[in-house]
Chains A and B, each alone.
Chain A
């Protein structure tokens, strides 16, 4: 290091001032190996946690899981209890969430990326939408209680729950959709414009199809979150004991996470068991939803030929 500094003044002609390299190849390779090991260990921790969780849940819940459990209604006696009302309730909420959050979320994202001018207000808007994704879900419960249950008079129904969950996941849907739309190169926009496309035609025929798989992925992940949430629904009146199939717009309802919560808080070991069984059902539901996402994504991607 000291040798290289005085060599600076270019007094002599081309040849001299050969920089000296210290390759230290072994040390550089070792650093790489250590980092690789750290990454592998991180994945290991994650996998281990998952495996333990699955083993625990399955070992407790599997003995209780049978067709009667899935098709039965809750009961005071664990051996006769079932989860059909909660399952149907979860489905209803999920349907409402999909129905509302997809059009609103995607339209908002299209507005922000394709229509809104790039000014301070719109940047502020985007930042705040991202922030909304980090608001604790219980807050959305309070909002849903005030807005949908009371003000709009929907009462404690799965419709109100679906609307509340829509608010909860809209930021996620919007942010994911914005990312998917922004990932489409501007050259695609120019290509469409150069052929005489209007802005709407450009969005509809060029940008949206290209972004659709990414948008779908975001939507499905958001849906999974909505199905797994319990906290906001506790506030907006999801009942804990429903022995009939819920009517989406009238009367009480419950959802799977609430059912799990209710059973797991009981002292009897058998209730812990059926609680674990219900968790297995939720996991299966999530898996099915993700599978659906893969299929939809693949179908949409069939029309896209990157």
Chain B
């Protein structure tokens, strides 16, 4: 549990306080070896699916995220919290290389998925996205039937098995089957907001990813649907690894195992302040910035 704490606390925050507003400084080796060494020492014990090592993200000349180290444990829910604009979504969209689609975007550092560097030249982002699925802020079912929505991913990825069986299994896993089993030929768009979001989750797990990224999946939903999604996440955790960005701190507190608190410096670059077991982050944060944020004094 506490093994995930090494990389951040004081070492990362201190340089920001005096705000060394360095624009194009890669920060090459200074913080990295230490972090890598501790990570290496710790890696033996817990099982990390995704490891972000010294990741920085840029939109053109603007650095949106700097020198982030995060380790995502297998079959756990990791929540990214922090004020708007601190780069949570950017970071999330980097993990499945979704942001490669943004023309001015580029990233530095390493993101290891099961030990393989996703930024490596030999890695095809299209292949990454099947292994690292994504659920978006606003439910975005395709304007197709419920069935075709779930079957979309398997079909484009050349699924050879029984598609009907797979669709049913995915919908069951997403706790949506009972709602839609008589509506499989209806439009995915005709479902309620919460059902649409669960449809999008069913669609995501239909391609059997290792990691599911969720970018504020409940922000467009009512409290009841939000609760359903959270219960679903707890269920999905048995088979998948989930990384969720949320603005809702209660949600992070309720639903996640590990919480990563991010904020941004004066150069507006987001960075990680503190990482730890969710209970500790919310009850006994080690960093003043974290405490201010989770207690509602800031952000």
Contact = CB atoms under 8 A, between A and B. Distances in A.
B293 interface: no
Interface string B145-183: 100000011011100000000000000000000000000
A219 B141 CA distance: 28
Given A190-B98, A201-B156, A305-B190, A195 B136 contact: no
B187 interface: yes
A33 interface: no
Interface in B239-267: none
Interface residues of B, number: 32
Contacts of A209: 143-144
B190 A187 contact: no
A205 interface: yes
B143 A306 contact: yes
Contacts of A117: 103
A226 B244 CA distance: 54
A196 B153 contact: yes
Interface string B97-130: 0100101000000000000000000000011011
B30 to A, nearest CB: 35
A191 B137 CA distance: 11
Interface stretch (B41-49, B67-75, B200-208): B200-208
B138 A187 contact: yes
Contacts of A194: 96, 98, 129, 133-134, 136, 204
B186 interface: yes
B130 A196 contact: yes
Interface string A194-209: 1111100100011001
A195 B189 contact: no
Given A305-B189, A306-B189, A195 B204 contact: yes
B156 A205 contact: yes
Interface residues of A, number: 24
Interface in A158-198: 185, 187-198
A304 interface: yes
B143 A196 contact: no
Residue among A189, A195, A209, A210 with the most chain B CB within 10 A? A195
The secondary structure that dominates the A interface is helix
B204 A210 contact: no
B126 A188 contact: no
A192 to B, nearest CB: 7
Contacts of A305: 143-145, 186-190
Given A196-B126, A196-B153, A205-B152, A306 B138 contact: no
B143 A210 contact: yes
Contact of B144 (A118, A197, A304): A304
A219 B54 CA distance: 52
Nearest to B134: A194
A191 B141 CA distance: 8
Contact of A195 (B145, B190, B203): B203
B126 A187 contact: no
Contacts of B207: 195-196
B152 A193 contact: no
A303 interface: yes
Contacts of A206: 142, 152
Contacts of B143: 188, 209-210, 304-306
Contact of A306 (B96, B101, B140, B187): B187
A184 to B, nearest CB: 9
Given A210-B143, A305-B143, A193 B129 contact: yes
A190 B140 contact: yes
Contacts of B126: 193, 196-198
A188 B142 contact: yes
Given A118-B103, A305-B186, A305-B188, A197 B156 contact: yes
A118 B127 CA distance: 25
A2 B200 CA distance: 58
Given A191-B200, A303-B144, A196 B138 contact: no
Nearest to A197: B156
Given A187-B138, A191-B136, A198-B126, 8 more contacts: A193-B126, A195-B157, A195-B203, A196-B153, A196-B156, A197-B126, A198-B156, A304-B143
Interface of A: 117-118, 185, 187-198, 201, 205-206, 209-210, 303-306
9 contacts: A188-B142, A193-B98, A195-B152, A195-B157, A196-B126, A198-B156, A205-B156, A304-B143, A305-B143
